[in-house]
Structure 1
């Protein structure tokens, strides 16, 4: 069984690129604009969330704060991805575990996911 990542991103091209990259690393990437985030978290065994800051309908950092304040999702690792200049400060203040600055190198994503995805997953 592949390890599952939820990628909150409303740019389909960016979502496809990251999903393709992570497929080679044995991850399954489920993409969403964030509007179905809770439904997807309930119906899938998500080990990590990648989240864009600049979504068309809200800020990813606000979703990150929501996830951190919810007992059921508070411990899921979250990595923010954004071209926003202050993404380091934003990630720190919303409770994200890490951030990746756009444009990124392929290995920036692979390394961050491998570093923060929970180890010892019994589904492995």
Structure 2
């Protein structure tokens, strides 16, 4: 069974690029600008979530923090994507399992996603 990655990204071009990269590596993806609610995430049942730090003018780390508080979601690895200089601090504070600084290299996305999907204890 293919591993599932949920991509929550404000920028359509980046959503499409990350979707292309991960699907080429054999992942099943779902991408959105912003999930309707946490139940939508539960229904997709991702093995990993990529979250943009800026979602429709709202901080993505708030969504990350909410995910980490919900039973059934808290054990799903989360990677925060951002151009912010303090992305490491942001990811730590929202209990993300890692971060990727934009602009990113496609190989970096693949390596982090594969690492976290295969080893839930891996971070940063």
Does the TM-score normalized on the shorter chain lie above 0.5?
yes
What SS does the corresponding residue of 1:49 show, helix, strand or coil? strand
| CA offsets 1:17-55 (integer angstroms, 9 cap, x no match) | 000000111001101122325243232221000000011
- For 2:40, the equivalent position in structure 1 comes to 40
Q: Does 1:10 align with 2:13?
A: no
The number of residue pairs the alignment matches comes to: 119
- For 1:78, the equivalent position in structure 2 comes to 78
- For 2:54, the equivalent position in structure 1 comes to 54
Displacement after TM superposition at 1:62 (Å): 0.3
- Unmatched segments (≥5 aa) in structure 2: 120-124
Q: CA 1:34–1:118 in structure 2 vs 1: closer, same or farther (change >3 Å)?
A: farther
- Unmatched segments (≥5 aa) in structure 1: 120-124
Confirm or deny: 8 A CA contact 2:38 2:67 kept in the other structure: no
| CA RMSD of superposed structures (Å) | 1.4
Displacement after TM superposition at 1:89 (Å): 0.6
**TM-score for both structures, normalised by structure 2:** 0.89
What SS does the corresponding residue of 2:48 show, helix, strand or coil? strand
**TM-score for both structures, normalised by structure 1:** 0.89
In 2: Cα distance, 1:73 partner to 1:32 partner: 17
- Runs of 4 or more, structure 1, over 6 Å off, are none
What SS does the corresponding residue of 1:21 show, helix, strand or coil? helix
- For 1:88, the equivalent position in structure 2 comes to 88
